[in-house]
Structure 1
Amino acid sequence: MTTIRPGFMFCVCPDPEMIRDEVRAALERCGTAPDGSAWRIQVHWGDEPLPQSFWTALSVPDLMGGGRAVVLRRAHELDDGFWPRLTPVLASKKPSIFPLFCLEGPWKAKGPNLSKALTSTPYWTVAETRKWVWRSPGLTVQAVRARIREWAGSLGLSPGPGVLDALAGSLPVDQSGLKRELEKLELLLGSRRDLGMEDLDGIGFKADIDIFAFLRTLRNPRERSAAWAHVLARADDDGYALQFSGLLVWEARTMWQLLSGDGDAVRLPPFVRKEKEAAARQIGLTGLAKIWPLALAAERGIKTGAMVPDQALEFLAQGIMGLFNARS
């Protein structure tokens, strides 16, 4: 089903692959160009000098007919003087020209970091009013879990206990990386429909953090500082910080199950189960419940640009050590 094409569109998201998906989806929603042909996509980049051909593409229809989608990627990199120049161009809608502007910068805590030179223009007001602005903060650990469940369901997979949580904790939190790793796992499985922990060894993005060993160290007040020093040594790596956050949520869920009487759903060697039960008792159900919002706040901070990775890890450090201190 096609929809009425917007006069122009803004795609606001820090994930480049999600931007590409939305541009494709927007063109599919609009159907064909006015003459019945497929839209011809012309891409320009805001982090490079814009040629005169960009302005021509926005203003002059193709003499041979056909529709042209003019996509400006990384438009957030443009200086403030660019946006007022668009006002007369966008004021005149041309049915065969569909401009799409992609704002791909990191978000702040309250949302996207947009230039006032853009948001004060009349065409931005029009776009907001007519819902010609698509926004997404990008993938989160929660969204990755949902995507994995959809993927497993579409293939008719039967995952073993804890497998989907383990997979969610070890996959990259970006659209391109997530697709790539799930495709590799699908190839690895072949015609099999059972998905076990042993299959996760076949994906390339492996967790290199032993979260429980880390939490176990935190139980000893004398070793807590050294444990966090080891983690913070890699604080400039946002992939590490997001991986740490995702695995932390997974470990907290396991301990919650052990402590709340749902331990039959957790398969662990007896000595590991005993250690995890002891750690879970020390933190308590109330403390374990606090780990989820801590991890999600840190993750969102990184994805939106409100926190750099070292700030997010320090935020987690203070919160988690507070849980152990409260129970010591």
Structure 2
Amino acid sequence: MSRPGYMFLICPDAQMLHEQINSILSAPGNSDFEKKVYWAEDDLSPQFWDDLTLQTLFGGSKAVILRKAHTLKAAQWDSLDKAVSGLSDSSMLFLCLEGEWKGKKQALPAVVKRRKCWQHAEKQKWVWASPGLDENTIKKFVNDWSRQTGISFQNGVQQALCSALPRDARAARLELDKMELAAGDEKVLEHEHLEVIPFNEEMEFFTFMDRLSQGGDPVSLWQRVLTNHTEKDSMFFLLAASLTREARSLWMILNGEGSEVKMPAFIRNKKEALARRIGPARVARIFDIVLEAELGIKSGNRKPEQALELMVASLTTLFAPPARNIRR
């Protein structure tokens, strides 16, 4: 056969597995495959084994996909070891090992390593492995999307997009669909387009943002900014987009339109308290701070890291509780 009879796919992200299988099946020279999906948690039925070893009645090709294969017991791996040696020429088997990775290590069960099918696949390079979307792989994910759609980025937007996207390929793909619509016919993604992404609240950045808006300790806030040299460009645009969205919400709350701001009740209560504390003049000032910082970058007068530091300095003063304000 010109193609592998089987492949091991090692990845915890179901969407990335789906895309990788489609990429392999659509490669030049491959015929149309009928997908047959089975789950390792279920008992492997006689139909599963028939799909592996028997020719189809009308000569078609089958892609037999075994999900959650990392949960198979040793006896089932023994059976698979024998079955792959007698695979039908019309069948291609995908063994999906979907356990969580530990750091940079592949989630490969010890029971798999001892099997001849694994050893042969490793020798033939019939193995594809990815930890899913993380800080190292998200850039390639976005680059691939940019190349496929022909969409380019305004300065700093690509880094900000990589930071903002959820670390789940299916959810990230949905957000990129929104970005494609936002980019329009010009096919250029701009800073303001990122405002439609519901940023991941578990990101460390949002701990920073919450502490900033609540008048957190200026020393620790500055330490967060000054020690993160590698992310300053993307952090600036994330902060700018988040602040603009925050200012709109606070302004609506102050003007009796808080019910229009969609958020959980406990977050609404925090924002209402913040809006009352800083008042309309300081809410309006947030827009000015963001605009001044963005103009500084676009005019070339400031680098993103300089604009970030100046913006955080202004915001630290703006959000500070009255007791922390400097008396003149």
Q: Which residue pairs with 2:63 in the alignment?
A: 69
Q: Alpha-carbon deviation of 1:211?
A: 2.5
Q: Which residue pairs with 2:175 in the alignment?
A: 181
* Structure 1 residues 187 and 58, CA gap change in structure 2 (3 angstroms): same
Unaligned runs of 5+ in 2: 222-227, 237-292, 294-299, 317-328
Give the secondary-structure state (helix, strand or coil) at the position aligned to 2:42.
coil
Spell out the pairing of 1:35-50 with structure 2 (5 A cutoff).
38-50=32-44
* Structure 1 residues 188 and 49, CA gap change in structure 2 (3 angstroms): same
Q: Which residue pairs with 1:264 in the alignment?
A: 302
Q: Which residue pairs with 1:29 in the alignment?
A: 27
Give the secondary-structure state (helix, strand or coil) at the position aligned to 1:188.
helix
Q: Alpha-carbon deviation of 1:95?
A: 1.1
Distance in 1, matches of 2:208 and 2:75, equals 48
Matched, 1:211 2:214: no
Matched, 1:11 2:49: no
Would you say the 8 A contact 2:232–2:308 is kept in 1? no
Question: 1:141-176: per-residue Cα shift (whole Å, max 9, x none)?
Answer: 233234334544665555444322222221112221
Would you say the 8 A contact 1:161–1:265 is kept in 2? no
Question: 1:273-309: per-residue Cα shift (whole Å, max 9, x none)?
Answer: 54699xxxxxxxxxxxxxxxxxxxxxxxxxxxxxxxx
Spell out the pairing of 1:16-165 with structure 2 (5 A cutoff).
16-29=14-27, 31-33=29-31, 38-152=32-146, 157=151, 159-165=153-159
Distance in 2, matches of 1:270 and 1:122, equals 57
Range moving further from structure 2, 63-72 or 196-205: 196-205
Distance in 1, matches of 2:143 and 2:81, equals 44
Matching residue within 180, 190, 197 for 1:196 = 190
Would you say the 8 A contact 1:105–1:113 is kept in 2? yes
* Structure 1 residues 148 and 91, CA gap change in structure 2 (3 angstroms): closer
Q: Alpha-carbon deviation of 1:218?
A: 5.6
Q: Alpha-carbon deviation of 1:5?
A: 0.9
* Structure 1 residues 148 and 276, CA gap change in structure 2 (3 angstroms): farther
Unaligned runs of 5+ in 1: 224-246, 278-328
TM-score for the superposition, normalised by structure 1:
0.63
Would you say the 8 A contact 1:73–1:101 is kept in 2? yes
Would you say the 8 A contact 1:211–1:251 is kept in 2? no
Question: 1:243-266: per-residue Cα shift (whole Å, max 9, x none)?
Answer: xxxx996348768xx9xxx98232
Q: Give the letter aligned to residue 21 of structure 2.
A: V
Distance in 2, matches of 1:153 and 1:65, equals 36
Q: Alpha-carbon deviation of 1:10?
A: 0.9
Q: Give the letter aligned to residue 20 of structure 1.
A: H
Q: Alpha-carbon deviation of 1:139?
A: 1.8
Range moving further from structure 2, 126-135 or 212-221: 212-221
Would you say the 8 A contact 1:67–1:96 is kept in 2? yes
Would you say the 8 A contact 2:8–2:126 is kept in 1? yes
Would you say the 8 A contact 1:80–1:115 is kept in 2? no
Would you say the 8 A contact 1:87–1:123 is kept in 2? yes
Would you say the 8 A contact 2:6–2:94 is kept in 1? yes
Give the secondary-structure state (helix, strand or coil) at the position aligned to 1:101.
strand
Would you say the 8 A contact 1:73–1:102 is kept in 2? yes
* Structure 1 residues 67 and 193, CA gap change in structure 2 (3 angstroms): closer
Q: How many residues align?
A: 245
Q: Give the letter aligned to residue 231 of structure 2.
A: W
Would you say the 8 A contact 2:156–2:233 is kept in 1? no
- Aligned-CA RMSD value: 3.7
Q: Give the letter aligned to residue 24 of structure 1.
A: N
Would you say the 8 A contact 2:81–2:117 is kept in 1? yes
- Kindly name which structure, 1 or 2, has the bigger radius of gyration based on alpha carbons: 2
Would you say the 8 A contact 1:84–1:117 is kept in 2? no
Distance in 1, matches of 2:119 and 2:190, equals 51
Question: 1:86-141: per-residue Cα shift (whole Å, max 9, x none)?
Answer: 12211224211211111111112352232222210112111111111111111222
Distance in 2, matches of 1:84 and 1:11, equals 19
TM-score for the superposition, normalised by structure 2:
0.63
Matching residue within 230, 250, 258 for 2:231 = 250
Would you say the 8 A contact 2:10–2:107 is kept in 1? no
Indicate the percent of aligned positions where both proteins have the same amino acid: 29
